[in-house]
Amino acid sequence: MNNPTVSVVVPVYNEEEVINESYRRLTEVMEGSGETYELIFVNDGSRDKTLELALKICENDKRVRLIDFARNFGHQLAITAGMDNSRGDAVVVIDADLQDPPEVIPEMLAKWREGYEIVYGKRLKREGESAFKKLTAKVFYRFLDKMTDVDIPVDTGDFRLIDRKVCDALKNVPEHNRYVRGIVSWLGYKSTPVEFERHKRFAGTTKYPLKKMIRFASDAIMSFSYKPLKLASVLGCLTCAASIIILIFYAIFRLLNPATVLAIVGIFAAGLVLLCLGIVGEYIARMCDEVRARPLYLIRGKINFDE
C-alpha cells in the first residue's frame, strides 16, 4: 500500500465513552475529504476499555492504526509517538473528545494545499469548560507570550496540521519535557491559523487534572524561557533593598523593637531564598531528564502498521 496523503493522530487516555464516536466523526470527515488517510490512535496507558475498543476498530478498518504505550506517558508524548509513526504528507493532531471539531480538518487541508506548512487551530471560544479552566488557559497563554521570545500563537492547542517536512524536523528535537506546540513554533516554517469554536467534551471528563495542568504549564515556561531564573536575582536585589528601607524606617520612627524587625526580614529573606532555589531546582530536574536520555516513550504494541 502506498503512503496515505493524510495522517490523523489521536491521543487517547481513558476515553472509552468517546473513542467510537471519535472514530465515526473522523472517518466521516476524512472520507468526505477525498484524501487517502490513516487514523493513528495512541493509547496512552488507559485503564478502562479504550484499548479493547480501539482493537475492535482496527480489526474492522485497516486504515486505523494503533500504538499502545507501555504506560501513561502523557498527552504530549502520545502525540509525539503518533507523529513519529505517521506516514502521511500532512499530519493532523486532534484530541479524541471532539472538543476540536473534525469538520475543521478540510479547511486545514485547503490551507496546506495553498502552500502553508503549519495550519494551527485557533480557539475563538471555549464552550462547556469550567470558568477556572477558561481563566487559567487565558492567563497562561498570555503569560507565556510575555515570558518567551519564541512567537507561540495564543489560544492555540495541539489541534493543527503540519507538513511532512515539519514532522520530520520535529523528530530531531528529542526534548523530554515537551511542549509540542511551542517546539513547532520554534521550528519556524510557513504557518497560518484556522479559527474555530471549541465545543464541550462529547462525553467523559477531562484527563488534565490540576496537577497535570501545572506540570504542563511549567514545562512550557521552562522550555521556552529563562526569565524565572532572572526573577531570582531580581527578587534578591528587591529583598536587600526592602531590608535596608525597613531598617532605616525603624531607626527613624522606632516603631518596632529591633528583634521583631530582624525576625521579619530574616523570615522573608529565607522564604525568597527557598523560592529561588526551587526555581533553579526545576530547571536542574529538567536537565537531569535530558542527561539521563531515557527514551521519550515505550511502545508495548503496534497494530495495523505492517502491510
Decide which of ligand UDP, Mg ion, none touches 250; Cβ closer than 5 to 8 Å per partner kind. Answer: none
Can you tell me the distance from the alpha carbon of 15 to that of 64, in angstroms, rounded to the nearest whole number? Answer: 16
Can you tell me the distance from the alpha carbon of 286 to that of 216, in angstroms, rounded to the nearest whole number? Answer: 13
Q: Which is nearer to Mg ion, 94 or 167 (CB)?
A: 94
Residue 99 binding ligand UDP, by CB under 6 A: yes
Region for residue 74 given its phi and psi (left: phi exceeds 0; alpha: psi -120 to 50; beta: otherwise): left
Could you tell me if 290 and 175 are in contact, meaning their C-beta atoms sit under 8 angstroms apart?
yes
Decide which of Mg ion, ligand UDP, none touches 207; Cβ closer than 5 to 8 Å per partner kind. Answer: ligand UDP
Tell me how far, at minimum, the Cβ of 99 lies from Mg ion, in Å: 4
Cell numbers 536520555 correspond to what residue? Answer: 293
Among 17, 44, 163, 219, binds ligand UDP (CB under 6 A): 44
Tell me how far, at minimum, the Cβ of 50 lies from ligand UDP, in Å: 8
Among 6, 7, 8, 15, binds ligand UDP (CB under 6 A): 15
Name the β-bridge partners of 60. none
Window of 73-81, 84-92, 243-251, 271-279 that interacts with ligand UDP by CB under 6 A: 73-81
Q: Which is nearer to Mg ion, 95 or 219 (CB)?
A: 95
Burial class (CB in 10 A: 0-12, 13-18, 19+), 261: middle
Residues contributing to the site for Mg ion (CB under 5 A): 95, 97, 99
Instruction: Tell me the number of residues near ligand UDP by CB under 6 A.
Output: 16
Can you tell me the distance from the alpha carbon of 15 to that of 20, in angstroms, rounded to the nearest whole number? Answer: 9
Give the x-and-dash track for 193-212 against ligand UDP (CB under 6 A): -------------xxx----
Residue 97 binding ligand UDP, by CB under 6 A: yes
Q: Which is nearer to Mg ion, 137 or 152 (CB)?
A: 137
C-alpha cell at 226: 529563562
- Strand 118-126 to strand 299-303: parallel, antiparallel, or no bridges (unpaired)? unpaired
- The 8-class DSSP code of residue 9 comes to E
Residue type, 191: S
Note the residues at the interface with ligand UDP (CB under 6 A): 11-13, 15, 44, 72, 74-75, 78, 95-97, 99, 206-208
